[in-house]
Amino acid sequence: MRMLYLLIFLCVNSMSFAHAKTFDEEFEAFKKTASAQALYTFLYAMPKGGDLHNHSTGSNLSEWWYAEILAQQEKGYRYYTKVKINNCRAYGSNEFTQAPYLLLFVNIQAYEYEKLDSCEQSEYVGIQDLNPEQKKAWLNSIRLDKSSEGRDEFFQTHWARINSLMSNPYMQANLIVKNMQAFGAEGLTYLETDAGVRGFVHPDGSPFDSEEVYQIYLERFAQKDALATGVTVRLQYALVRFITQAEDALKWMYGFVASHPELYVGVDMVGREDNDKGHPLRFLPTLRALRHQYHGVNLSIHAGESDEPNHHIRDTLLLGATRIGHGLNLTGDPDTLLLMRYSQYLIEINLISNLLLEYVDDYTQHPFPEYLRLGIPVALSTDDRGMWDSNMTDEYYTGVTNFNLSWSELVKTGANSLAHAFVDEKTKQQLLDDYKQRIAAFEKAFSDKKMAAFEKVKPESYSFACKQFKVCH
């Protein structure tokens, strides 16, 4: 009789085991029936790893800039923006400088405003004094909000407009913390963004010493509200690749990164790749010489963000990069594609950026699923999300809805974003262990309670999600 009970027990137990769904199966079932809002909430709530491809200036939402500009009056900074053009300059002004004359919503600091003649002063308004219509236009002037705006608007006017907003180190540090807060709320625990220490000025225009700026970052990121985000932050130094003195700048920043490892972990190269002066091999001799002198400087470099097939990704690996930003044209270079399968080289994928900057017309053209399913390490990242008015959840949502990502693929992508972080090994291991635990807890919570598990989750989303997914808040 006892034998019979044992048999029944074993039988029932093995039956229940056979019917237990894996979380992958649960996720597939959920995807089939979930509303856009439910899927968005699920993806917002799910633990994510890090954002490895993030530009601190481009990651600030317009509303964050506005609030921070007003707050900076306390430190003596006042900003003006150009709201009209009164033809104050004669024919022939240089329209290809950092802040061209014939461009609206160029932002300047008060000390620059005071140097203008009265005609040009009349073109500007203090940002705190913008009327509602001007304010709305100002907010829209630094995001891609119209169908006519794409790559040229982004590269040629957005940065020119931001202009002097980039040279206040307190504002820069506060806005990185703002990003940490927003990323923390959507389940990220790591942010690697680029931010420099040169070119910063006081309210009167006098320059900061680079060590002073470094201290401002260190102190700001150690404050309570920054620590409370649960997001570990590290910085990269970005080189604009096509400038005349790029080699000298690279030498300086390489040395700076090597000697400030507490916060700085790598060097990046940015700027249009279709500018011939910025091609990767230009920097090979310089980087080889720098490697004779320094250790511990990681390279994550934009490559293959290009419409034409070329060997920029191969050449960038030759420079010593272990992470490739974008890597869009890799399918046009099969030898390098094969080299990257099951490799240590990660591609930082920026789905929204690539669409809005017209590197793909739609997602049927995007190589992300090809890379992912061929075993090339990939992670999703946000690039200049302030200008897209989006967040990391939008990248996940885009991936799931366009490429039918499985749960395992999502989790692997998140883990990759930590495994390939440039942070020290000990911290990286802690982040990975924590990620594993948070994923397990998330799976259990959803298995037990379904969407009721996320009753308290209120996703913060912006105009990209509203326009593209009809998920509006």
Instruction: Identify which of residues 163 and 350 has a Cβ nearer to Zn ion in the complex.
Output: 350
> Which token pair is 40?
């968005």
> Which token pair is 243?
């400038």
Cα 438 from chain centroid (whole Å): 22
Distance CA 262, CA 424 (A): 9
DSSP classification of residue 208: P
Q: How far is the CB of 176 from Zn ion (least distance, A)?
A: 16
Residue nearest Zn ion (C-beta atom): 383
Q: Residue 204 burial (CB < 10 Å; 0-12/13-18/19+)?
A: exposed
Distance CA 208, CA 464 (A): 37
Q: How far is the CB of 286 from Zn ion (least distance, A)?
A: 21
DSSP classification of residue 158: I
Q: How far is the CB of 191 from Zn ion (least distance, A)?
A: 14
Q: Which of 383, 389, 394, 409 binds Zn ion (CB under 5 A)?
A: 383
Instruction: Identify which of residues 53 and 82 has a Cβ nearer to Zn ion in the complex.
Output: 53
The window from 250-258, 330-338, 377-385, 401-409 that contacts Zn ion (CB under 5 A) reads: 377-385
Distance CA 314, CA 335 (A): 9
Instruction: Identify which of residues 273 and 383 has a Cβ nearer to Zn ion in the complex.
Output: 383
DSSP classification of residue 127: G
Torsion of CA 39, 44, 50, 55, to 10 degrees: 100
Establish if 273 lies at the interface with Zn ion (CB under 5 A): no
The window from 4-12, 203-211, 375-383, 442-450 that contacts Zn ion (CB under 5 A) reads: 375-383
Is the distance from CB of 88 to CB of 123 less than 8 angstroms?
Answer: yes
Q: How far is the CB of 236 from Zn ion (least distance, A)?
A: 11
> Which token pair is 442?
């998330």
Instruction: Identify which of residues 186 and 305 has a Cβ nearer to Zn ion in the complex.
Output: 305
Strand-pairing partners, residue 411, are: none
Q: How far is the CB of 387 from Zn ion (least distance, A)?
A: 11
The window from 103-111, 238-246, 378-386, 392-400 that contacts Zn ion (CB under 5 A) reads: 378-386
Site string for Zn ion, 137-156 (x = CB under 5 A): --------------------
Of 172, 166, 180, 169, the closest CA to residue 224 belongs to 180
The window from 95-103, 171-179, 254-262, 379-387 that contacts Zn ion (CB under 5 A) reads: 379-387
Is the distance from CB of 432 to CB of 241 less than 8 angstroms?
Answer: no
Instruction: Identify which of residues 123 and 383 has a Cβ nearer to Zn ion in the complex.
Output: 383
Binding site for Zn ion (CB under 5 A): 383
